[in-house]
Amino acid sequence: MDKVTLHDKTFRKFIYNSRIMEAIEEVAERINADFEGCEDIPVVICTLNGALPFTGELFMRLKFNCELGSVKLSSYRGTSSTGTVLTVQGLTEEVAGKRVIACEDIVDTGNTILALRELLLANGATEVRIATMMLKPDIYDKDIKLDYVGMEIPNDFIVGYGLDYNGLGRNLKDIYVLDK
């Protein structure tokens, strides 16, 4: 499908699934190099719901022992950020005394990453590394280092591969951009 309609908006294909898989493979290689030979058991935290496909693909490529957990945060309504990050579901895995790899689908303003990092550290994580499938560098304005970035994209509203517009579009295997 070159175009999809979700609710009242039309989106056109922007990033093919093959490019998404390449980006995830590159992120996995960097994480594997950083954690090679680790004797501790890091925790991979998936930020639900959007990062579910990214985290699943990434997790299957990790070559060291690790645990998997999740947290659900929310900051979007429609096509724009509310500026407020809400914890919808708390951490499902204990992170106290552990290194954490926090996985996000997309980082734009960085508000969610900041809230997630603070939550993980408040729960006793010894280190938090951030892995994101996509980054919008034009609007990212936080001082938090993003350790693993799959790809950089312009500041456009996108759906697919976990990203949604009011609940729809997460199941698309490619990424689509709002067709203006």
Reported as type and span, the H/E element at residue 18 is helix 17-35
Sheet containing 99-107, strands listed edge to edge, beginning at the edge strand earlier in sequence: 80-89, 67-77, 43-48, 99-107, 127-135, 148-152
Q: Is 164 a catalytic residue?
A: no
Contact of 165 with 171, CB cutoff 8 Å? no
Measured CA to CA, the distance from residue 167 to residue 151 in angstroms comes to 23
> Which member of 8, 34, 105, 108 is catalytic?
108
Sheet containing 3-6, strands listed edge to edge, beginning at the edge strand earlier in sequence: 3-6, 9-15, 175-178, 158-159
Name the H helices within 38-165.
52-59, 111-122
Sequence-distant (6+) residues with CB within 8 A of 90 are 71
Report the catalytic residues: 108
